[in-house]
Amino acid sequence: MSALPLRRASAAPEHPSPATVDASVLARLTAQFAATAADHDLSGAFPRENFAALQARGLIGLVAPAEHGGGGATLATARRVISAVARGEPATALILTMTYLQHHALTRPDSRWPAHLRERVARDAVENGALINALRVEPALGSPARGGLPGTVARRDGDGDGDGWKIDGHKLYTTGIEGLSWLAVWARTDEAQPRTGVFLVPRNAPGVRVIASWDHLGLRASGSHEVVFENVAIDADHAVDLRAPADWAPDAGSQTDIDAHATQQAWMTVLLGSLYDAVAQAARDWLVDFLNRRAPGSLGAPLASLPRVQEHVGEIEALLRTNRVLLADAAAAVDGGHAQPATDSGLLKYTVTGNAIRVVELALQLSGNHGLSRRNPLERHYRDVLCSRIHTPQNDAILVAAGKRALLSSGATA
């Protein structure tokens, strides 16, 4: 029942250091991915050629631990890459973001993964461009972030502690499943006192079945289909992190555990925020070009010459500058060892994604019917940026947590 052996590449890419992931490389990737983004949006096809290009430049394993051949990149560097990819094709950026988050989790001081599996997943990314994502959401459970035991169940396959596990369950929104090599499956045990946690499953393990149900408004090429597990066998040590359900609470465990959770949350919100901010940047770029070229006969000059238009574009610039400063500050804090609390990371996501949506809405307002035409990318940018609202943490949870903190802290000092 061992996981399948690594696929050996003929030549592993040389991993760039943060200093060599330069602007010209990223600009070329943005342009390359943008050229086919509309086709991927129309077909919903998994963007394999984009990931081949990323792997050729050593960018899939960029965040993987350096001791296992990865780039060991900082959050600031990972953010630059995600932003550049998303400015061209955001579904590719979303899948890469999920892999980066899993690779960063391998470096957490509270990680309970067996050392040989941490190394295996990291080296598979470096040598083969292997992607990994967490499979958490379920039809009945919804998002685990809101509590509850998963319906996906792992049971012992045998009588001894050294025997493996068999997994049965059903997951939704498995972003990138068509290109994943590893699945970090959130499940519970069938023990009298169930434990919950992560089971590492090879994508091509027998019994893993994909239901091609993803047909959404935006990020259509992310291939976030359903996955069914039917008697899927894995080795015992592939239960990489099992805990009592209460031990998964953000404030559970030692201060090291709490700090590690805050850092992981900051990585998630900064990378997702950078992704949707990049979509807004692409919308802004299209709009500026359109306004400079569009010269109605009744005006006799480009729309860009109108003070009203200039005012709204100025608002767009203010929103994007706010995002840029907030994201850069949060990344610098994490890389300096001072990640903000999870509640503040939530507020960052709320502000940045709200600003990104507002940018694209202003662009649509200024462009009129032109912006809503399928011949132009702006309507696609709008569909994509709206997806920001559904990523965990969602707006209601963010605001409740922030409001509760403010009210309780105020009450404590009254």
pLDDT (tens digit per residue) in 167-193: 999 999 999 999 999 999 999 999 999
Measured CA to CA, the distance from residue 85 to residue 389 in angstroms comes to: 20
The stretch 218-226 carries a mean pLDDT of: 97
**CA contacts within 13 A on the Cβ side of 81:** 31
- Predicted confidence at residue 255, as pLDDT, reads 87
pLDDT mean over 120-138: 97
89 touches 30 (CB < 8 A): no
State the pLDDT at residue 17: 57
Helix, strand and coil content of the chain, in percent to the nearest 5, comes to: 55, 15, 30
- Please compute the mean of the pLDDT values over residues 2-31 and round it to a whole number: 64
Q: According to the model, what pLDDT value does residue 235 have?
A: 96
More confident residue, 241 or 147: 241
Q: How far is CA 285 from CA 280, 364, 375, in A?
A: 9, 13, 16
Would you say residue 140 has pLDDT above 90? no
Q: Give the pLDDT band of residue 297 (cuts 50, 70, 90).
A: confident
196-223 mean pLDDT: 97
H helix and E strand count, the chain:
11, 8
381 burial via Cβ count (<10 Å: 0-12, 13-18, 19+): buried
Query: What would the pLDDT profile of 56-108 be if each residue is shown by its tens digit?
Result: 999 999 999 999 999 999 999 999 999 999 999 999 999 999 999 999 999 98
pLDDT at residue 249 is higher than 90: no
Q: pLDDT above 90 covers what percent of the chain?
A: 84
- Where residue 312 falls (left for φ over 0; alpha for ψ -120 to 50; beta otherwise) is alpha
Lowest mean pLDDT among 94-98, 277-281, 407-411: 407-411
C-alpha dist (Å) from residue 280 to 11, 221, 302, 320, 348: 37, 18, 23, 8, 16
pLDDT at 376 over 90: yes
| Mean pLDDT of the residues in the chain | 92
Share of the chain above pLDDT 70, in %: 92
Q: What is the mean pLDDT of residues 270-293?
A: 98
- pLDDT, average across residues 258-285: 96
Mean pLDDT confidence for 253-262: 87
Write down all domains in the chain, each with its CATH number in brackets: 18-130 (1.10.540.10), 135-246 (2.40.110.10), 255-407 (1.20.140.10)
Q: What is the pLDDT of residue 61?
A: 97
pLDDT at 162: 62
Residue 10: pLDDT band by 50, 70, 90 thresholds? very low
* pLDDT given at position 5: 36
